[in-house]
């Protein structure tokens, strides 16, 4: 009897489009972390509501562009 050991793999997928992230489509190693507390009915922090997203290069560009647009729009309203 012989034994083959197959090492475990870590497979990441883009949280936006669902593509499997590898060295070809995620050269920028895109990741987005939005830190926040969830609030209870009295507006007191009650839980961690942090969101962490892994993104492929294409979605990283789109998400960064959307964030910039939202910030620009907020500044224009001031």
- Measured from the CB of residue 68, what is the shortest distance to Zn ion in angstroms? 18
CA-nearest of 33, 41, 1, 27 to 15 is: 33
14 in contact with Zn ion (CB under 5 A): yes
For Zn ion, give the closer residue by CB, 20 or 46.
20
Cα-based distances in Å from 10 to 13, 21, 27, 38, 49: 10, 10, 17, 30, 25
Using the rule CB under 5 A, which residue among 16, 32, 53, 63 binds Zn ion? 16
Positions touching Zn ion (CB under 5 A) are 14, 16-17, 56, 59
């Amino acid at each position: 009897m012989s034994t083959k050991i197959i090492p475990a793999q870590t497979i990441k997928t883009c949280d936006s489009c669902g593509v499997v992230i590898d060295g070809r489509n995620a050269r920028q190693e895109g990741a987005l972390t939005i830190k926040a507390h969830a609030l209870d009915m009295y507006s007191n922090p009650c839980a961690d509501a942090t969101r962490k997203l892994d993104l492929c290069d294409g979605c990283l560009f789109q998400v960064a562009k959307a964030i910039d647009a939202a910030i620009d729009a907020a500044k224009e309203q001031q």
